[in-house]
Structure 1
Amino acid sequence: MNELLNNKTFAVHAAAAAASVALGTAVTYPLDTLKALMQVGSTGKRPLTAADVLYRVRVLSGYSGLYNGVGWLIMGRTLGLGVRFGVYEILTAFYEDGREDDHLLLSEAMLAGFASGTVESLVSSPFEMIKVRAQVASASRITTPPSIVEKSVVPPLVSRLLPRCSLDMTAMSKSISLLSTLTTRNGNILDSLKEYPWMMTGSGKPPPVSNVRTLLEIVSLEGWTALWRGYRSGIVRDSIFGGLFFGSWQFLHEVMLNWKAVNMDPIPRYDSEVGPLSPVAVSLSAGVSGAFAAAVSHGFDTTRNRSQCTVLPKYLLLERKFLMWPKRGNRFERLTGIHPADRNLLLNGIGLRMARCGLASSIIVGSYFFAINHLVPS
């Protein structure tokens, strides 16, 4: 009977956690869309504002475009946060083992947060890739599908690499005119050029990111490894976020416990004797911790989103590998994955990310405690 009750309690906790993550993600997702579009759409000469991004999304996709890709983020956040809190609880249980008061040091909470954030980044990366591509598509002009005549001129090789691809015949004609002075044994240069993947757009450039946004399109053109593109900046971002989030949350938790213990008589010796804190206070402290961690790690979030919006076909990746393409930037930038061209764009959308992470953390923690208090018998 006790085993059945424990299984039921665990299922209730898991369901409450998943529902709270879904609720927090759905409520704050428009802020995430605006933030991501500001990060990937800005340039050094023309940084975008939230009003510019909102106007473009409203014109091209309507207000529903603010929720493009929300399903992928909910799945990624559910798995990612489950891994984050799971790894954190395992590590903190190891730290607290053998202590009489089960007290957790601030440094231990930060180290456990760094480790949990690293694991979370590897789990949630594929979902974030598809989510960011869907957000960019909501602010991009939808191209009309190619006609039957256009489809017929696309060779099988290009069709396999990029489904629904139609060649840019204007750019192809310009390429032919540049090569017209060369002598060749093949009388039909146009058909020959079509067989090369790098001419699939007719200009030698990869297709726009809005045309490579689904899982099948990403895998067919860029390969499975593209789902973890920008893993360096992603790991740095999530490890910093996890460490600062759990460290600051532990600090605020201790402050609230000490504040509550001041008015108690006698003064409690251990934290367990103080009693539980108010769910409202815990959720607010989680929101403050989330906003603080988001502010510190925001530069790496910008780098991660911009790298995920770069279409890099498999053949280009192999070329760079064979040619031992050098990485640009100083040692810190090469280590963390920051592109030198993004130095002036790292803080774009920092206010939106702080608001999103702070609000989402408060909603997730608050709704989780609310569900547990009403569903799990005391």
Structure 2
Amino acid sequence: MFHVKNSFFCALKTFRSIHVRNFGIGRISLGGVNLKGRSLLTLKDFSSDEIKHFLWISHDLKRRIKHEGQYLPLLQGKSIAMIFEKRSTRTRMSTETGFALLGGHPCFLTPQDIHLGVNESTRDTARVLSGLTDIILARVYSHSSLEELEKEATIPIINGLSDLYHPIQILADFLTLQEHYGTLKGLTVSWIGDGNNVLHSFMMTAAKLGVHLRVATPKGYEPDSGVVREAEKLSKQFGTKLFLTTDPMEAAHGSNVLVTDTWISMGQEEEKVQRLKDFHGYQITMQTGTVASPDWTFLHCLPRKQEEVDDQVFYSQNSLVFQEAENRKWTIMGLMVSLLTDYTPKIPMIKF
């Protein structure tokens, strides 16, 4: 019986995937896009319209709940399994409070709680949680763990962070920029720092929103070559510019948005001394802003260290970091609503 049931779910998942990816079936709804039942491991898998739909729903929920005081129990009766191999402030709090605010029940799970891939295989965990919850968010070390979860689960999987991508952070970043500038198309974002998972997600998303991307990384810390090739294709497809250099000031030239991230991620502590040496000259300061556009702003996904950006920038009027942090909540809510319901925003489509 289990074998038959499992085969049915696998066939159903394959059928759904084929229709969504190849024929566009499942994308049509009252709002023009239907993402119910999809997983989000990387924004590489989502079209321009689909990413805009995530942001539109996020903006709608923020307007209706925060500014109009409405109660929207869109996820009442549903539960989410939150698997955290790596600690977090923003990812945990935004997901846990956001899911509860929508009427659902969040379940926080650490490696000590479930021993993912140790006492129980990732495959078995995916199948068990598929029968107990409605959606899984996993913050993991290896992207392959997410791929295995997605392969074996019969419910949506959200990448809460992996070594390759951090898509939920980028949704918050672009919602923040859309709110600040009123539109995204034509903006130039400059990344100054490590060629890491956050940068990879920028590279898979920016062109689809009409955003130019300028990247400065030290030699030896470049973004993944496969991600670069895909980003180059996207830039050609959407008519945007992608520029890579090792010079921070060159990357910042004419930019609307200066972005950086930690130079030493969890698991890289032993590399600290060498990394601090290699990233010398990459700190974002007001001097960096002198070559940027007059309306330049600053983003950092946090937590932040002094060597990455000085206080004068971090706490300045140019900084959007705390709005960006709050928008982690509204965008993860928008994402979860998109993947679990047929909800259509009640406000007009925002300008992109």
- Give TM-score, length-normalised by structure 1: 0.21
Q: Which has the larger radius of gyration?
A: 1
Question: Higher relative contact order at CA 8 Å, sep ≥6: structure 1 or structure 2?
Answer: 1
Q: Which has the higher strand share?
A: 2
Structure with the higher helix share, 1 or 2: 1
* Length-normalised TM-score, structure 2: 0.22
